[in-house]
Structure 1
Amino acid sequence: MRLARYELHGVAQDAAVVGLPGEERLHALRAGTTVLDLATAGLAAAAEAAAWATRTSPAVPLDAVRLLPPLEPPSVRDFVTFEEHVEGVVRSVSGGGGVPDAWYDAPTFYFTNPHSMIGAHDDVPVPPGCRVLDFELEVAVVVAGSGSNLSAASARDHVFGYTIFNDWSARDLQGREMQVNLGPAKGKDSASTLGPWIVTADELEQHRDDEGYLALGLDASIDGRPVGRDLLSNAGWTFEEMIAYASRGTWVRPGDVLASGTCGNGGCLGELWGRSGAQVPPPLAPGDVVRLDVEGIGTVENRVVPGPDLADLPVVPRARSRERRRHRLVGTSVATPVEGR
């Protein structure tokens, strides 16, 4: 089944999706039921809710609504599981070569902004101060139920479904701030496409290969020109292994989004730049339309538009030089360091 959220006449609604590609229709879920609720309740409850909606709610044509992100995730982890992507982007961002040995040890991830999710066809403003904007073609898994210290085998029961994830990246901001060695911040903070809907786990089992990977075709284009093509099964870890690692020593919760990381072979411009040594194709600019297609899931297509001018925003100053010697504050118990100790 497919589950979505949409906006019609200014009202948000959670829904089941039915129909062949190009003929999709939306049927509202019961009042008060959200896609996040169904991720908590599990696949059986989701199937019942979708069946009720299809029988009971009137059909709404897809082209009559604005698709929202299919759920509001409590948290978003973005992994980096494609070796080819790592190799190219390391060259592009830092000028280094090869894949770090540490990459092979575990499926590394960072937490990104759950409040920056946008819908499948929303416009994407250029982040303030960015001159090198990039897209990233990824697939994300949505977690069902709660789990801690899971094995990969038990994590299979915590897969609710899958959706497309586009991690829009300000490469110039990212390259500078990652010199502080805390990972990306504003370079990845402005927008992430999530959509067009969640395809539940049972729908994609037919694509699972002998090693447990989902062999889904991935395609990226800009203004109708193909720039990337890969298979999801080229990732270094399965989604179950990503969920298991994410749950180590902590918890994954219903609705958590775990993105695969960018695929290789042109899954982003940064990889292509790193391989060629030149920014060809050029960074994204207002007017560019990025389309991502994932076999078995669907399509997202976003137009880049101008964003806020950095000169019009409040200034964040550079760090001020501070005297390292700490002085006792009046009325406090903070001691003044003693010289020579």
Structure 2
Amino acid sequence: MRIARWLDGADLGEGFVIGDRVVPFPNGLRVAQVLAQGLPAARLLFARVADEKGAALDSVRLLAPLIPASIRDFVAFEEHVEGVSAGVEGTSHVAPEWYEAPTFYFTNPHTVLGPGEEVRPPVTDRLDFELELAVVIGGVDGSDGRNLDATAARAHIFGYTIMNDWSARDLQAREMKVRLGPAKGKDFGLSLGPWIVTADEFEPFEDDEGFLEVRAEVRVNDELIGYDLLSNAGWPFPEFVAYASRNSRVVPGDVLGSGTVGNGGCLGELWGRNGALTPTPLSAGDVVRMSIEGIGELISPVGSQVRAPEIPHARARPRLRTREL
């Protein structure tokens, strides 16, 4: 099953993509509600509308397939870490701690972009993309999404979508020297789409350890930049979900990015390996085209940069401990 959100003229639609048409959920349900009900309920909804005509897919404008409750982004591909660390830190290095757990950061659910939607980056000399597969969390009866093991976590994977975690590498490098982030190097835009494909459709791609042998590739202006198999991640996806729930909680509508695939899944990796800005950073007018086997294609044009108000520097402070009366 494929699940999407779209605009048909001024009308918002949410439902299934069936062949070359879009069909709304019954009873006016929204994607958030269907995710909360879980995958078994979604199958029943699909059966109710599978024969309905709906609207032609090419007559509507697809939106991001969900409004995320939160977005966690992992860094699960060793090859990506090797290359980007060389570009950002000046030397190729994978910290021993990387191997201990599938580390992630939280990013901004309020700047999500949909298929074909233009990204408007901040002022940057090193605009980059990141090719990722994202997990979409669904509801599971009898589970509150806390402290899951990998087996229980697997049931919470409702489906997958393509994720492009846009990155301003120069801003990212500066702020991470303060030992926090990434933040402003990332939170201006993140593209999702074109739809959610339910987890059952990926079962044929699973190897004996649960890794997904799915091909992902990215092109800029039709030039192939990178490609990889998702099975090169350090952990299978249920273990991402389990780790995210550790002493915490995952809820329906959460998005968990795999992290950038290796072998050119982003320009930053190639800059680190090449020792130069080759290929060139993205600029206005470029078109980034990502495809992942079993899902389809996410196309994202790059727009002009947006200059934000200037930031004042920190003020020197006297570090007084008492207030004069």
**TM-score of the alignment, normalized to the shorter chain, above 0.5:** yes
Asked if structure 1 preserves the Cα contact closer than 8 Å seen for 2:123 and 2:305, the reply is no
Query: What letter corresponds to residue 227 of structure 1 in structure 2?
Result: I
Identity across the alignment (%): 54
2:95 counterpart of 1:100: yes
Residues 238-264 of structure 1, C-alpha deviation per residue, up to 9 Å, x if partnerless?
A: 110000001010111011100000000
Q: Based on CA coordinates, which of the two structures has the bigger radius of gyration?
A: 1
Q: 1:70 to 1:281 in 2, by over 3 A?
A: same
2:33 is paired with a residue whose SS is helix
- Equivalent position of 1:84 in the other structure: 79
**What are structure 1's unaligned runs of at least 5 residues?**
331-341
2:136 counterpart of 1:142: yes
2:263 is paired with a residue whose SS is coil
2:18 counterpart of 1:18: yes
Asked if structure 2 preserves the Cα contact closer than 8 Å seen for 1:178 and 1:184, the reply is yes
The equivalent position to 2:297 in structure 1, one of 277, 296, 299, is 299
**What are structure 2's unaligned runs of at least 5 residues?**
none
Distance 2:106 2:29 in 1: 27
Distance 1:236 1:329 in 2: 57
Asked if structure 2 preserves the Cα contact closer than 8 Å seen for 1:287 and 1:304, the reply is yes
Asked if structure 2 preserves the Cα contact closer than 8 Å seen for 1:174 and 1:184, the reply is yes
- Equivalent position of 2:61 in the other structure: 66
Give the alignment's Cα RMSD to 1 decimal: 1.2
Asked if structure 2 preserves the Cα contact closer than 8 Å seen for 1:230 and 1:263, the reply is yes
Distance 2:14 2:135 in 1: 19
- Equivalent position of 1:334 in the other structure: none
- Equivalent position of 2:198 in the other structure: 200
Deviation at 1:128, TM superposition (A): 2.2
Asked if structure 2 preserves the Cα contact closer than 8 Å seen for 1:15 and 1:26, the reply is yes
- Equivalent position of 1:50 in the other structure: 46
Query: What letter corresponds to residue 301 of structure 2 in structure 1?
Result: R
2:51 is paired with a residue whose SS is helix
Deviation at 1:205, TM superposition (A): 0.5
Query: What letter corresponds to residue 213 of structure 1 in structure 2?
Result: F
- Equivalent position of 1:2 in the other structure: 2
- Equivalent position of 2:311 in the other structure: 316
Q: 1:329 to 1:164 in 2, by over 3 A?
A: farther
TM-score (norm 2): 0.96
Query: What letter corresponds to residue 168 of structure 1 in structure 2?
Result: W
Distance 1:16 1:222 in 2: 29
Asked if structure 2 preserves the Cα contact closer than 8 Å seen for 1:137 and 1:167, the reply is yes
Structure-to-structure mapping, 1:148-187, within 5 angstroms: 148-187=146-185
Asked if structure 1 preserves the Cα contact closer than 8 Å seen for 2:84 and 2:92, the reply is no
Deviation at 1:18, TM superposition (A): 1.1
Query: What letter corresponds to residue 47 of structure 2 in structure 1?
Result: A
Distance 1:194 1:89 in 2: 22
- Equivalent position of 2:122 in the other structure: 128
Asked if structure 2 preserves the Cα contact closer than 8 Å seen for 1:217 and 1:294, the reply is yes
Query: What letter corresponds to residue 283 of structure 1 in structure 2?
Result: P
